[in-house]
Amino acid sequence: MKPALHAIDANAPPLPYYAPAGHECALFELAWKRRVPLLVKGPTGCGKTRFVAHMAAKLGLPLFTVSCHDDLTAADLTGRYLLKGGETVWVDGPLTRAVRQGGICYLDEVVEARKDVAVVLHPLADDRRVLPLERTGEQLIAPPHFMLVVSYNPGYQSLLKALKPSTRQRFAAIEFGFLPHAQEVAVVAAESGLVPERVAPLVTLAARLRHLKGHDLEEGVSTRLLVYCASLIAEGLPLRDAVLAAMIEPLTDDADVKAALIEVAQAVI
């Protein structure tokens, strides 16, 4: 089968809205054409998942998303034999479905997954493009319109949870950060329906709070939280209540840190 790039039909659902920060859409498209797997790194809530959803829709490809967690094993991705009505049947996992059908398999927060996941990803992420299914004895060759995309948050990296060089060097990589002020205002306004003039101070506050990352905070305010905050305000919640609920409480449980964040907020809004 040919790559599905031009197979987008007029009745297709609209593209998920994505405001690019640079040339990442062109890079993604070229990587897909040349069968280069992609690693997207960046802090939580900065637009990585939205980017992948946007690109999958733009290229007319099915998207198989897996949110990785520390119990996720290779079998969760490839599949397993299950008992169904007294019979044992093989059921494909999401990675196997993506390889059989073609499309994008997106493994979100891949460093969280168990170590055996790397074993199935390696032959798929290099020029062999093969997924060996030991249990069924199959060797699936990925079709041209299959692409592997993984993401992770370098901020959470620890020695125990780091991608090994042998894994990361099988991917081209893009680093995501938060958008510049004016662009982030436009995104939050578009996503929440709050007018840009009322979004702007929230984005200014987010920038201040992001500076505290590493001192008192593990993570700064994400664009996702900004969208929540602006949506609550658009819905009628008073500004300060919305800021507390969506931009301060989710960041910390420490009373002193919270008091310091409230002080910063009061100085800005």
Given the rule CB under 6 A, which residues bind ligand ADP? 17-19, 42, 44-50, 179, 187, 191, 223-224, 227
Residue closer to ligand ADP, measured from CB, 31 or 40: 40
Positive or negative, the CA dihedral 125, 126, 129, 133 is negative
Residue closer to ligand ADP, measured from CB, 31 or 131: 31
Could you tell me the smallest distance in angstroms from the CB atom of residue 45 to ligand ADP? 5
Q: Three-state SS across the chain?
A: CCCCCCCCCCCCCCCCCCCCCCCHHHHHHHHHHCCCCEEEECCCCCCHHHHHHHHHHHCCCCEEEEECCCCCCHHHHHEEEEEECCEEEEEECHHHHHHHHCEEEEEECHHHCCCHHHHHHHHHHCCCCEEEECCCCEEEECCCCEEEEEEECHHHCCCCCCCCHHHHCCCEEEECCCCCHHHHHHHHHHHHCCCHHHHHHHHHHHHHHHHCECCCECCCCCHHHHHHHHHHHHCCCCHHHHHHHHHHCCCCCCHHHHHHHHHHHHHHC
Could you tell me the smallest distance in angstroms from the CB atom of residue 77 to ligand ADP? 19
Could you tell me the smallest distance in angstroms from the CB atom of residue 186 to ligand ADP? 9
Gyration radius (Cα) of the chain, Å = 21
Could you tell me the smallest distance in angstroms from the CB atom of residue 17 to ligand ADP? 5
Mode of pairing for the β-strands spanning 130-133 and 138-141: antiparallel
Place of tokens 């897996």: 66
Residue closer to ligand ADP, measured from CB, 48 or 145: 48
Residue closer to ligand ADP, measured from CB, 129 or 224: 224
Residue closer to ligand ADP, measured from CB, 76 or 219: 219
The angle formed by the CA atoms of residues 16, 18 and 19, to the nearest 5 degrees, is 160
Residue closer to ligand ADP, measured from CB, 44 or 101: 44
Could you tell me the smallest distance in angstroms from the CB atom of residue 139 to ligand ADP? 32
Could you tell me the smallest distance in angstroms from the CB atom of residue 54 to ligand ADP? 8
Nearest position to ligand ADP, beta carbon: 47
Could you tell me the smallest distance in angstroms from the CB atom of residue 188 to ligand ADP? 8
Residue closer to ligand ADP, measured from CB, 92 or 108: 108
